[in-house]
Amino acid sequence: MKYGLIGERLGHSYSPEIHACLAGYTYELCELPPEAVGPFLQAKEFESINVTIPYKTTVIPYLDEIDEAARAIGAVNTIKRVGDRLYGYNTDFAGLSDLIDRVGVSLAGRTVLILGSGGTAKTALAVCRARGAREIVTVGRTAREGVLSYDEAYASYTHASYIINATPVGMYPQEDACPIDLSRFEHLSGVCDAIYNPLRTDLVQAARMRGIPAEGGLYMLVAQAVHAVSIFTCKPVCREECDRVYRKILKEKENIYLIGMPGSGKSTVGRALAKAMNRPFFDSDVEIVREAGRKIPTIFAEEGEEGFRLREAAVMARLAQECRGAVIATGGGAVLRAENVHRMRRGGKIYFLDRALENIRPTSDRPLSSDDEALARRYAERYPLYCAAADTRIAVDESIANSVETIRKDFLFG
């Protein structure tokens, strides 16, 4: 291996794509159990590598020299071999600093809670100090010297104005989790989450729902890679290149969700859009039928609407977790459950295909909108939900090509 990443579990990593975009070299993923880290480093059969959890402190005893900043932090995420010597650096510091800049809220004079106590938390502590935070509190699952428990944070630090999540809580594949209850903090002005998969964790979504500026860790991942590439190649990489690669990776990983009434064209437009953008296509109703082995009217007849909605929620959860960079057409009632919308927002952009009621025809294969009267009721009930869930509303006419091009342009350049 010439360039790559070592860690315990790396199946979710986007680093090979990022490094390929930045420098064009092959970047390998190398999963190691704890007992293999030392022998791997001692063999020195690499040129430069990055290090991720849980080995950012494990690697330190095997290094010949450590950059002053990395030594002060107590964590290394970048190692370069020069001859027979290994040099350690910490590019997470610069990456997190860039992420904080992206959120756009100064830490100077503020009380900051850092969730977690591992290598990323140590980096966050150094960044907060460098940026002039007035009070920095580390929070963990259990209290110990220098670390408060979550209960203690709730009791004494609800005045905190900034939270940085440096834990894996909410990370793929355990996405249905949030490390802290933001409702307890009434003075928050910013939230950073080092997790990049999913793109928008429950923590980030909870902050944004409260009007608090918040960002996930994808920008940090790209920014720290930019600084790592500079160390690997001894060539500087400009900020504009960082932004370009961030946008490219974001769009490649983000799903496109289509919502709207039955008969609004979600499946037809979705297939055409997926073909035009060279993306995989999924239809949640088709997935439900495939998994159940029965058609939707039969599911309604045998299990009722509640049974169908449970099946729909399960399929939506699976698609949201498994799909990256896909076009997904949803059922007309998918927005009825808040958790479906929440999961779509974790890793996608939602488009409401808004076709006028007079241009939608009822059909017998749609149990809740099988005649004009039922269709009109569903339209009145759901229209506000579609508008509230959507990032973008698309007025649908009879031209599939127009709808496809409108969505494509908005997604890529909007």
Distance CA 84, CA 305 (A): 67
Distance CA 38, CA 6 (A): 12
What are the φ and ψ backbone dihedral angles of 103, each rounded to 5 degrees?
A: -65, -35
Strand partners, 190: 162
Distance CA 212, CA 315 (A): 31
C-alpha pair distances (Å), 282 with each of 26, 57, 271, 401: 31, 42, 8, 19
Strand partners, 282: 328
Distance CA 3, CA 28 (A): 6
CB-based contacts of 79: which residues, under 8 Å, 6+ apart?
A: 41, 48, 49, 50, 51, 59, 63, 86, 87, 88, 89
What pLDDT is stored for residue 290 in this prediction? Answer: 97
Nearest one of 27, 26, 68, 64 to 44, comparing CA atoms: 64
Distance CA 77, CA 223 (A): 13
| HSE-CB of 18 using CA atoms within 13 angstroms | 27
| HSE-CB of 2 using CA atoms within 13 angstroms | 9
Q: Token pair of 74, please? A: 């107590």
Distance CA 147, CA 388 (A): 40
**Would you list the DSSP string of 276-321?**
HHT--EEEHHHHHHHHHTS-HHHHHHHHHHHHHHHHHHHHHHHHHH
Do 320 and 345 touch, CB atoms closer than 8 A?
Answer: no
Domain annotation for the chain: domains and CATH numbers: 3-89+235-247 (3.40.50.10860), 94-216 (3.40.50.720), 254-413 (3.40.50.300)
266 is annotated as an active-site residue: no
This prediction has a pTM of: 0.92
Report the 10 Å Cβ neighbour count for 132. 11
Distance CA 341, CA 40 (A): 44
Round the CA-based radius of gyration of the chain to a whole number and report it.
Answer: 24
Q: Amino acid identity, residue 213?
A: P
C-alpha pair distances (Å), 218 with each of 198, 248, 269: 9, 11, 29
Strand partners, 349: 256
Q: Token pair of 92, please? A: 């997470």
What pLDDT is stored for residue 272 in this prediction? Answer: 98
Q: Token pair of 18, please? A: 């990022």
C-alpha pair distances (Å), 34 with each of 39, 48, 79, 120, 255: 10, 20, 17, 18, 35
Q: Token pair of 32, please? A: 């190691």
What pLDDT is stored for residue 189 in this prediction? Answer: 97
Distance CA 378, CA 264 (A): 13
What pLDDT is stored for residue 80 in this prediction? Answer: 98
Give pLDDT tens digits along the chain (414 positions): 999 999 999 988 899 999 999 999 999 999 999 999 999 999 999 999 999 988 999 999 999 999 998 999 999 999 999 999 999 999 999 999 999 999 999 999 999 999 998 888 999 999 999 999 999 999 999 999 999 999 999 999 999 999 999 999 999 999 999 999 999 999 999 999 999 999 999 999 999 999 999 999 999 999 999 999 999 999 988 889 999 999 999 999 999 999 999 999 999 999 999 999 999 999 999 999 999 999 999 999 999 999 999 999 999 999 999 999 999 999 999 999 999 999 999 999 999 999 999 888 877 667 777 778 888 999 999 999 999 999 999 999 879 999 999 999 999 998
2, 44, 56, 235: the catalytic one is: 56
